[in-house]
Structure 1
Amino acid sequence: MKAEIIAVGTELLLGQIVNTNAQFLSQELASLGIDVYFQTVVGDNMDRLRQAIHTAESRADVLIFSGGIGPTQDDLTKEALASVLGRNLHYDRMAMDNIDRFFRGRNIPMTENNRRQAHAIDGCTPLPNETGLAVGNAIAHNGKFYIVLPGPPKELIPMFQNQAKTWILQQVLTHEKPIYSKMLKFAGIGESALETRVIDLIEKQSDPTVAPYAKESEVTLRITTKADSESEAMAKLDTLEKEIASRLGDHLYATGDIPIEKTIIDMLTELNLTVSCAESCTGGLLMETLTSIPGSGAVFQGGIVCYSNEMKEKLLHVPHDLLEGENAPGAVSAETAKVLAEQVRMIVDTDFGLSITGVAGPGYSERKPVGLVYIGISRREHDTLVLELNLKGNRETIRTRSAKTILYHLWKQLKEIADEA
């Protein structure tokens, strides 16, 4: 089963907004076993929109539209699709009632053009809008399937998850076996290096399938199978997961779609351990990453952003002759990273102290190159781990990779503790 996503809106072509809907829809369709072969963006023009529909029909079974169903004259998606299908539009009564209630409840006169948001193509299944006014449409026609969704993500996402997905399962995938997937999450390894270690599994895949995905400092493998039952599916997926884990166990931190910081907070909580941070070039990014996870307050005790040498001395007692002087290692050094990690752990009184100091850019610092970063992990009653990183990318990339890298090495230590328990 092949799909094409058609995003409608001149603002997309002008770069005024980012098409995040395409990413969401592609991920959702992939989880259903529907392959997205094309993504099309078309402006608010009737002729070009009809042409885009005809082109998509020639190469896809399922056409998913986002946008172009609002109240204004340039919202043309339903009109264009109805024209291509040779069907008429009507007003969906439930959608019209919802629009009437909206304006009455706010004591605002409803302009006539708002009625356009209640348009439905004859013969379609209306998709109620839980967070907006424009009703969605789903329709089967001559062996093709069409789903029309609103453009705003806050409306599109719940409509797809709560309405359109059910319609797809009932109308599109009626003869397909259910699809089951697992997300394997890896850290401390790049996409190309990971692929090299499982390339034989990817090349010979049939069922289950293996698909890699990458984002900043994390890599995901989605393993997917079709089966008559969940137990049958899990038996196949578990076998493949064990094979992958045997090759990449030092990097496999989760078997679910969660970030490494969530895994770390959960492990610290389970092990009844605490952590603190001292950050220089990351400016608090590491602490923000950890505290973005609900429940982090039970294990993250606090930290210090010590951007200047003065703050490193005053707040974390880094010796002056370590930071400055003709033969001083400097703020960007293994020696300073070690002291920062040990001092913040002792000052805050935690089981772990983490430190990051380096050059995020855009220029050199202490005559040291952009991307040179030192990280430190101080563990109570253990030797302090200090690592030198030589990172590539812009300022934000270096900061993010620094934070993610130290989290990976903290995860490795927590894993050792858990395995010994």
Structure 2
Amino acid sequence: MNKVSIISIGDELLIGQTINTNAAYIGEKLTAIGYEVIRNFTVGDNREDILKTFSDAEAISDFIFITGGLGPTHDDITRSCILEYFQTDLVFDEQTFERIKKLFEKRNIPMPEINREQARVPRIAKVIPNDYGTAPGYDITKNGKRFFVMPGVPYEMRGMMENTILPDLKNYIQSKNIFYNQKILYTTGIPESALYTKLEDIRPLFDEVKVAFLPSQFGVKIRLSMRSNDEKFNLKKIKFLEEKIRERVGDYIYTDEDLPIEEVIGKILTERKLKLAVAESCTGGLICHRITNIPGSSNYFERGVVSYSNESKIEILGVNPETIKNFGAVSEQTAIEMARGVRKISKADIGISTTGIMGPTGATETKPIGLVFVGYSDSEREFAKQFNFADNRVRNKDKTSQVALEILWRALTGKI
């Protein structure tokens, strides 16, 4: 009744030239309103393969979402495959043609004759308007199965989904009394395997509430979800399991909202009217970048300093030259002095710092690639934490920015 397959069409997807963000978006949006996505197909610009994929998807799904291949050029063959699969022909749609003309007029460029052909749509299709491009979408029903055909251009597809398709499907599934509920717990500072081990004694509960662990370099999401005809039942079961999980790993959960840790920190700093300053060496401004991605960060972020060289650490932050001489730029002592220095010169309430060896060069016998120190300083205490990451420079920067923000979050919430 609510099973979905997603078909993404285009050679560029198969050869890795384009990342398939469409399928991820469609899957996320449909899941959120109660549909069950059971299969993702990716197929090239080949007629036989496309037709077979249509058939395979129809056999297992109630709703089939197709993106790509609706453009005006010779390699865009989705429309012709639709005609063949549904045994229909094309008709000229005047409303679609007017939309296309107005789009070119708005851009103040002449409309190529080839775009007129895009106003010819399958006779059996209900047209899905495209507010952002020239290719219309199609809504086709066959044997109780519903096909949605959309352009592969992400913002055009999203416009059709948000303006037309999702509202319709949301009304449909509500009429069938199907409820999907989920809760996502966002963790940091603990790997997936360790999380799973800590929850070992409550694994039997995973049979009733579906649990997924979604790791990334920024942490692990724990998704709890249920689908049934009783929304209150879903919410009760999810809440019960959430409480059990929090009892075991609550110290690693920084939010249950769809917010990055830097936004969670920003809310705390704003509520407490605290100012933050950051001194970065190995992360090169990445922490400041993440903090200032959040609207309103000017309320709590005082300044950031990228002190990459030893000279800048000494001249700007006031790090003692003897500290660097005796312990090195990558050391606990230097990290603390960097955090203290940026806090003092900015008159902020809190200073944090990073110093480390990102690789692939720079290692010594005692200081390997991936060695990082994160410093913290406020009016009452100062400390630094050591971390040892791997040898990928970019990932090391990402991980260092995350642990620095984690330390800040833990300090603000009394967990450290």
Who is 1:410 aligned against?
408
Alpha-carbon distance in structure 1 between the residues aligned to 2:249 and 2:89: 56
Classify the secondary structure of the residue corresponding to 1:304: strand
Q: Distance in 2 between matches of 1:121 and 1:204?
A: 49
Per-residue deviation, 1:273: 1.1
Give 1:99 deviation, angstroms. 0.5
Q: Distance in 1 between matches of 2:229 and 2:37?
A: 24
1:395: which partner in 2? 393
Q: Following superposition of structure 1 onto structure 2, how do residues 89-168 of structure 1 map, counting pairs within 5 Å?
A: 89-168=90-169
> Is 2:291 the partner of 1:260?
no
Kept in 2: contact 1:202–1:209 (CA 8 A): no
Shift of the 414–116 alpha-carbon distance from structure 1 to 2, 3 Å rule, reads: farther
Structure 2: 5+ residue stretches without partners: none
2:355 alignment counterpart: 357
Kindly indicate whether the alpha-carbon contact (under 8 Å) linking 1:201 and 1:210 is maintained by their aligned counterparts in 2. Answer: no
Partner of 1:42: 43
Determine whether 1:291 maps to 2:292: yes
How has the CA–CA distance of structure 1 residues 197 and 176 changed in structure 2, closer, same or farther, with 3 Å as cutoff? Answer: farther
Residue of structure 2 in register with 1:380 after alignment: 379
User: What is the CA distance between 1:4 and its match in structure 2?
Assistant: 2.4
Q: Counterparts of 1:209-358 in structure 2 under 5 Å? A: 209-226=210-227, 233-324=234-325, 328-358=326-356
For the residue of structure 2 that corresponds to 1:277, the secondary structure is strand
Find the counterpart in structure 2 of residue 61 from structure 1.
62
Contact 1:45–1:74 (CA under 8 A) maintained in structure 2:
no
Question: Does the 8 A contact of 2:180 with 2:231 survive in 1?
Answer: no
How big is the shift at 1:384? 1.2
| Cα distance in 2 between the residues matched to 1:202 and 1:37 | 24
Contact 1:119 1:135 (C-alpha < 8 Å) held by counterparts: no
Report if the CA contact (8 A) 1:275-1:299 is conserved: yes
1:401 partner amino acid? K
**Shift of residue 285, structure 1, vs aligned partner:** 0.5
Contact 1:202 1:211 in 2 (8 A): no
Alignment CA distance shift 1:35-1:334 (3 Å): same
SS across alignment from 1:249: helix
Letter in 2 for 1:191: E
Q: Distance in 1 between matches of 2:80 and 2:33?
A: 29
Note if contact 1:182-1:255 (Cα within 8 Å) is conserved in structure 2: yes
Provide the rounded CA distance (Å) in 1 between the counterparts of 2:201 and 2:143: 40
1:268-291 CA-to-partner distances (Å, cap 9, x unmatched) read 101111111111110111111111
User: Aligned equivalents of 1:133 and 1:363: distance in 2?
Assistant: 51
Identity of aligned residues (%): 36
Residue type at the aligned position of 2:368: P
Residues 264 and 144 of structure 1, relative CA distance in 2, 3 Å threshold: same
- RMSD in angstroms over aligned alpha carbons? 2.3
Give the CA deviation at 1:305.
Answer: 0.6
Q: Deviations along 1:351-376, whole A, 9 cap, x unmatched?
A: 11101000011123454211100001
2: CA distance, partners of 1:352 / 1:134: 53
TM-score with structure 2 length normalisation? 0.92
SS in 2 for 1:416: coil
Using the TM superposition, give the Cα deviation of residue 204 of structure 1 relative to its aligned residue in structure 2, in angstroms. Answer: 3.9
The more displaced of 352-361 and 51-60 is: 51-60
Query: Mind listing any 5+ residue stretches in structure 1 that lack a counterpart?
Result: none
C-alpha spacing 1:393/1:144, structure 2 compared with 1 (3 Å): farther
Question: CA distance change for structure 1 residues 146 and 189 in 2, over 3 Å: closer, same or farther?
Answer: same
The answer to whether 1:371 aligns with 2:367 is no
What's the CA shift string for 1:369-394, capped at 9, x where partnerless? 1110000111222x212111011251
Instruction: Give the CA deviation at 1:12.
Output: 2.0
Report if aligned partners of 1:91, 1:119 keep a CA contact under 8 Å in 2.
yes
Q: Secondary structure at the match of 1:145?
A: strand
Local SS of the residue matching 1:182: strand
Paired residue secondary structure (2:69): coil
Q: Quote the Cα distance in structure 2 between the aligned partners of 1:391 and 1:340.
A: 21
What is the CA-CA distance between 1:160 and the residue it aligns to? Answer: 1.5
Structure 1: distance between partners of 2:45 and 2:87: 20
AA in 2 matched with 1:317: G
Q: Within 2, Cα distance between the matches of 1:244 and 1:89?
A: 56
Which whole-Å deviations, capped at 9, do the CAs of 1:142-175 have from their partners, x for residues lacking one?
A: 1322111211111112221232222333456752
Please give the secondary structure, in 1, of the residue aligned with 2:241.
helix
Measured at CA, do residues 38 and 233 of structure 1 come closer, stay the same or move farther in structure 2, by a change above 3 Å? closer
Give 3-state SS (helix, strand or coil) of 2:182's partner: strand
**TM-score between the two structures when normalised by the length of structure 1:** 0.91
- Structure-2 change in CA distance of 1:33 and 1:206 (3 Å): farther
| 1:255 to 1:70, Cα distance in 2 relative to 1, 3 A | same
